[in-house]
Amino acid sequence: MTDTMTDVIDFKALVAAAMAVRRHAYAPYSHYHVGAALLTPSGQIFVGANVENAAYPQGSCAEACAIGTMVANGARRLRAVAVIGSGPDLCTPCGGCRQRLFEFGSVETPIAIAAADGSFEIVTLGALLPRAFGPNHLPLGHLPPGHLPSGHLPDAPLA
């Protein structure tokens, strides 16, 4: 990517944060450990690891865990994301997590998709989720408090 905003993001550090939290993943069934790191516009990094459950649908993806932590700490926007799995191939967010990330990002949000060894490629959320459905598709009267018509939430916690 040649966007100047992504040029100043330390993707190696973001991938390293995702790699560090991946060690804490709970994946006794698939044995596929995932870590995610979310960078906010204020420079905060929130991390999450996947948590599996014997009742398979009840597990949580690393990205969802990181988003929950980000929101619980009052942040509402993404500047960049890193996702790393435990396999040799680049790990991309699942479809549900792509939608979750779009709720707090945009089509331009850069995502470092990484392999277990830390090698990564940068793609945009728009490339992973083309023609995304977002808050801007909903009538303004149905938007949650704090949503802007563009589909972005403010950085400040909602009152």
Instruction: Tell me which residues are annotated as active site.
Output: 63
Q: CA–CA separation, 146 vs 114, rounded Å?
A: 33
Q: CA–CA separation, 102 vs 128, rounded Å?
A: 10
Q: CA–CA separation, 79 vs 72, rounded Å?
A: 17
**Are 111 and 123 within 8 A, CB to CB?**
yes
Amino acid (1-letter code) at residue 97: C
Q: CA–CA separation, 35 vs 23, rounded Å?
A: 8
Phi, psi of 119 (to 5 degrees): -70, 145
SS3 96: helix
Q: Which two tokens stand for residue 9?
A: 């993001």
Q: Which of 53, 48, 45 shows the shortest CA–CA distance to 35?
A: 48
